[in-house]
Amino acid sequence: MHFKRQHVLLVGLVLFLVGLQFRLVESFTLNERSSRFVAAQLGDAGTQQPAWQGMPLRKVVEPPRWLGLALMSAGAVLAGKSLSMRGQG
């Protein structure tokens, strides 16, 4: 399958914007349902709370700082590559 010019540009822009989002936000707080799913998939027993506390389980995800730069770099390269491609209709 050959990617057309507009597809490569779109993927590059989306990667760049997701990387920018990761650079601007320090952490994400998951809701209770997502936190339980992540805990079940990772087998993280340390996030279980005693039943008497009654507070919902909320997991905080802190992406590494380099992830935003890596995504922004890949997106910029793909966007630049799309501009150098021949117009494939």
* Residue 12 contacts residue 81 (beta carbons within 8 Å): yes
Q: Does the pLDDT of residue 45 top 80, yes or no?
A: no
Across 24-43, b (16+ Cβ under 10 Å) vs e yields eeeeeebeeeebbeebeeee
Q: Does the pLDDT of residue 14 top 90, yes or no?
A: yes
Percent of the chain with pLDDT over 90: 49
Q: What is the pTM of this model?
A: 0.72
Domain boundaries, the chain: 1-25+63-89, 28-62
- Kindly report, residue by residue over 17-35, the tens digit of the pLDDT: 999 999 999 999 999 898 8
Q: Are strands 28-29 and 60-61 parallel, antiparallel or unpaired?
A: antiparallel
